[in-house]
Structure 1
């Protein structure tokens, strides 16, 4: 897709996208606290798949072109990974809350940098390895192993971050052969199929107010992805990718003021270390890309 470059618009779209993602996480936390996670994610994916199909059908070549993936097995694996990652992360919201879950999940860019070598064959310099090490020191500060009883729930968002990092790397891998709309189509439809196969067995009635919250969750899922697509259309990834970290403070504010969560000092310090390390790895990737160009 081609669009006129407008970095300022891309920045504002990315900021709005992270805000919508945070609201989406708050809605998921609320619904998953009362209903089965599999069902909640399944309903979300039904709407998301319908949105994807509608969007792809308007793209050049339509659905027929989107179906013809050159790497269908990898595309299916991507879709399954993302669907399961969402389920795991929502479980983390319920078990740990938004604040601590997002503080740990912020490690995913570091995991992408660490795994880009063995999976994509990219070289990772000593500066980025140092940043990765520093980032995981931040995770240890958040989790505080050795201080009191270690909460096994803390591993849930770390597992989600690992799954999302693998999804991101596979997305970069298939981008070598498949267009963005092809990947987008396979992500939505594969996820919907997988979640239906699992979630349909966990169906339970939903109250009228919660049906309204579920509808809002579905709408935010479509809106956030549309804004994200538009942001990457009008601005370079290197200019807007660091803004993805804004989801952490947005989600933290929802957790603090809506759900009454607390912000422990070690979580704030650890999250700051993780974000700083992640921003450094993004900057080093940008420098490397410019040199190669």
Structure 2
């Protein structure tokens, strides 16, 4: 018996298991939080570009293996398995994601895990706000109100005009914007490309782009840190595998709210391992952002059911 989900006899779709999907998403958030903690450690000791480059080398090897496996199952060549209807958009997606990863890891070093993730949690609000101009989707007044409340939360976290405002505080906001555009383009290319094709292009484009940049910043790494680098690569692969499985067995709208748990786990690592501080304004602002994000996800689910 294979480990793939069973199929309904009367349908070609995978049988949905929301409970399993929720647990897989929770596991995903734990793995990604650990990944962020390792990234923070390595990027504090070595150049960000080098760290991200090595991570994407392993990511590219993983997606190559998946593509080869799928091609063998379908009896087709590798070229057919990764053929895209939107090659240039796939390239843009890959460049956006690898840039977002670099920016976010830099934010971990400059701001810490707690504040970086507190700001980054606004990305679902950015997706909702940009879904109109990019995808032509309609955003109602309720979701616009939630988006505005969420950005009030971001302002509370950033505290512009209070004391000395650090420009580094805008770095995770830039990361959230890049990730939001990446997510919207992922939804757009899904109209013609399978998830496997998009996954392949993401890994290969990211690895190629980072190799062109990262090799210029290569520096010797200690044996212990090579161990951490191996752990970083393994968590990246495991996290993406768990995420794929979660979306394969449950509706996105049902499990996406649990993605906010990554803020909890990453903040815990920041507080207890890296000695970071949870300031009151960050806690209040993050609470507003998460609440607004959960509301927009709920409204999206309501609209999908009505449609």
TM range, smaller chain? over 0.9
Query: Do structure 1's residue 20 and structure 2's residue 24 form an aligned pair?
Result: no
Question: Which residue in the other structure is 2:9 paired with?
Answer: none
User: How much does 1:66 deviate?
Assistant: 3.3
Q: Any idea what SS the aligned residue of 1:68 has?
A: coil
Cross-structure match for 1:273: 288
Q: Which residue of the other structure, out of 231, 243, 246, is the alignment partner of 1:231?
A: 246
**Contact 1:26–1:98, Cα closer than 8 Å, also in 2:** yes
Match status 1:187 vs 2:198: no
TM-score w.r.t. structure 1 length?
0.98
Task: Describe how 1:1-293 pairs up with structure 2 within 5 A.
Answer: 3-59=14-70, 60=74, 61=76, 63-292=78-307
Q: Counterparts of 2:112 and 2:22 in 1: how far apart (Å)?
A: 28
Take 1:45 and 1:183, find their aligned partners in 2: how far apart are those partners? Answer: 15
> How far did 1:290 drift?
1.0
Q: Is there any run of 5+ residues in structure 1 with no aligned partner, and where? A: none
Aligned mates of 2:129, 2:299 — CA distance in 1: 13
- How far is 1:8 from its partner? 1.2
Q: Residue 145 and residue 210 in structure 1: after superposition, are their counterparts in 2 closer, same or farther (change >3 A)?
A: same
2:28, 2:242 within 8 Å by CA — same for their partners in 1?
yes
Provide the C-alpha distance between the structure 2 equivalents of 1:173 and 1:188, rounded to a whole number of angstroms. Answer: 18
Distance apart, 1:62 and its partner CA = 5.9
Distance 1:8 1:123 in 2: 30
Deviation at 1:43, TM superposition (A): 0.2
Q: Deviations over 1:75-133 (max 9, x none)?
A: 00000000000000000000000000000000000000000000000011000000000
Whether the aligned pair in 1 keeps the contact of 2:67 and 2:82 (CA below 8 Å) is no
Tell me the TM-score normalized by structure 2.
0.93
- Number of residue pairs aligned between Structure 1 and Structure 2: 292
Maintained 8 Å contact 1:144/1:150: yes
Note the residue ranges of structure 2 that are not aligned, 5 or more in a row: 5-12
Tell me the secondary structure at the aligned position of residue 45 of structure 2.
Answer: coil
- Within 1, Cα distance between the matches of 2:14 and 2:53? 33
- Alpha-carbon separation, structure 1, partners of 2:258 and 2:37: 19
Shift of 1:64: 2.2
Equivalent residues of 2:67, 2:78 under 8 A apart? yes
Pick which of 64-73 and 89-98 moved more: 64-73
The answer as to whether partners of 1:53 and 1:185 remain within 8 angstroms in 2 is yes
Task: Please give the alpha-carbon distance, in whole angstroms, between the structure 2 residues aligned to 1:67 and 1:290.
Answer: 32
Native 8 Å contact 2:112 2:276 kept in 1 = yes
Give CA deviations for 1:149-195 in whole Å, capped at 9, x if unaligned.
11110000000000000000000000011111110100010100001
Would you say the 8 A contact 1:66–1:185 is kept in 2?
Answer: no
